[in-house]
Amino acid sequence: MHNLTRITFNPEVMGGKPCIRGMRVTVETVVGLTASGKTIDEVLADYPYLEREDILEALAYAES
């Protein structure tokens, strides 16, 4: 697995689910949005506090 630095786990944030940089945005949310057909740019427009690298790392994490 790649060294994933943007995925965090904290039992006090979203019940310990893998999140993006400690925010309340889960990897599951990001993967679900892209699986439903949203492009990375559309996800970034919906979540302007995320960065492209966050999305890419969430997808890489989900693949592993």
Q: Which domains does the chain have, with CATH numbers?
A: 7-63 (1.10.10.10)
What confidence score (pLDDT) does residue 3 get?
81
What confidence score (pLDDT) does residue 64 get?
87
What confidence score (pLDDT) does residue 2 get?
63
Dist CA 64 CA 10 (whole Å): 20
User: What confidence tens digit (pLDDT) does each residue in 3-56 have?
Assistant: 889 999 999 999 999 999 999 999 999 999 999 999 999 999 999 999 999 999
Question: Which is it for strands 7-8 and 19-20: parallel, antiparallel or unpaired?
Answer: antiparallel
Would you tell me the crossing angle of helices 52-63 and 27-35 to the nearest 10 degrees?
A: 90
Quote the tokens at residue 16.
Answer: 């310990």
Nearest to 29 by CA among 50, 5, 12: 50
Nearest to 19 by CA among 54, 64, 56: 54
